[in-house]
Structure 1
């Protein structure tokens, strides 16, 4: 079957995730086998070993859950933006909400918690992302990844996940950060605008999922 897939579709990797060798030597399920994808020629595409291993059974847009990655500076309103659009049954992965859910006694301020809680929350967030991006149900997974590295963005795009930028402008973000966030987050504001100079002017694009239901305010480092 592998040889038939390569003969039918060619020997160029169809995924081309970061680190791709381009040369396909394996077959990859379009609809993952765990999602009910059949072992048929129509459900296979050529892939290099690197990409086949890296993808595992994560969903691609149009097959199972739809993933929306929400990026933007601290205090931009990412969580609020999602809450205005999410539907019953959707999944939202929000670092601050995860951390607060782990504490029986809540701190007075959001986005402030001890390091040991933060470390547990990071592990819980990773586990949630791993499971949610493999859902076969036709729901939306809203994933807040405030400042993703370029490699992560490239991977999200290769999967066909929608990337939404929320940024009301630097003046608004700085004022909110000063009044509502830990002082250290101002460094993340500076980092965002250094890496995204095109967002220095106010910008908040409205995205409405088309048709089916379409992915947490993350700590600014992930």
Structure 2
């Protein structure tokens, strides 16, 4: 089964996966990948442009390979703001879309406390996109954790 975990920055997407994934599952999380590829002591959420370029290529390769094994392992993918093209691919793969959203006020406070200031703009875009989606077809939401 493919699980696509979406939501604004600092919503708790990684925490949701930690609560649901099993050791044999595959987890594709850009922040964890960047941390694994960065030097010792690197910040968990502030990555250089060069590191992000490398990590994005590695993520793309990991996704393509993981999609070949959905019959053998559950795959959890964090995708904050999937494009229409990505959503179409996830639909073809019969993914379960999980929206993690504790609410705009909580997210903005978490960003203030734990993230880079630029993440507020990403969260604002996410909420704007969500409003646009709610006027059409909204992905399946889940907050039972």
* CA offset digits 1:171-204 (Å, max 9, x no partner): 0000001111111111011101111135xxxx85
Is the helix fraction higher in 1 or 2? 2
- The aligned residue for residue 86 of structure 1 is 21
TM-score by length of 2: 0.87
Hey, what's the Cα distance between the residues in 2 that align with 1:196 and 1:136?
A: 28
Q: What is aligned with 2:45?
A: 111
User: Which has the higher Rg, Structure 1 or Structure 2?
Assistant: 1
The answer on whether the counterparts of 2:98 and 2:142 sit within 8 Å (CA) in structure 1 is no
Shift of 1:158: 2.4
- C-alpha distance in 2, partners of 1:127/1:81? 24
Query: Which residue does 1:96 correspond to in 2?
Result: 31
Q: Which runs of 5+ in 1 are unaligned?
A: 1-65, 208-222
What corresponds to 1:171 in structure 2? Answer: 105
Conserved? CA contact 1:74–1:173, under 8 Å: yes
1:75 aligns with 2:13: no
Give every structure 1 segment of 4 or more consecutive aligned residues whose post-TM-superposition deviation is greater than 2 Å: 203-207
Q: RCO greater where, 1 or 2, for CA within 8 Å and sep 6 or more?
A: 2
On the 8 A contact 1:110/1:181 being kept in 2, the answer is: no
Structure 2 unaligned regions, length at least 5 = 135-140
The count of residues paired between Structure 1 and Structure 2 equals: 137
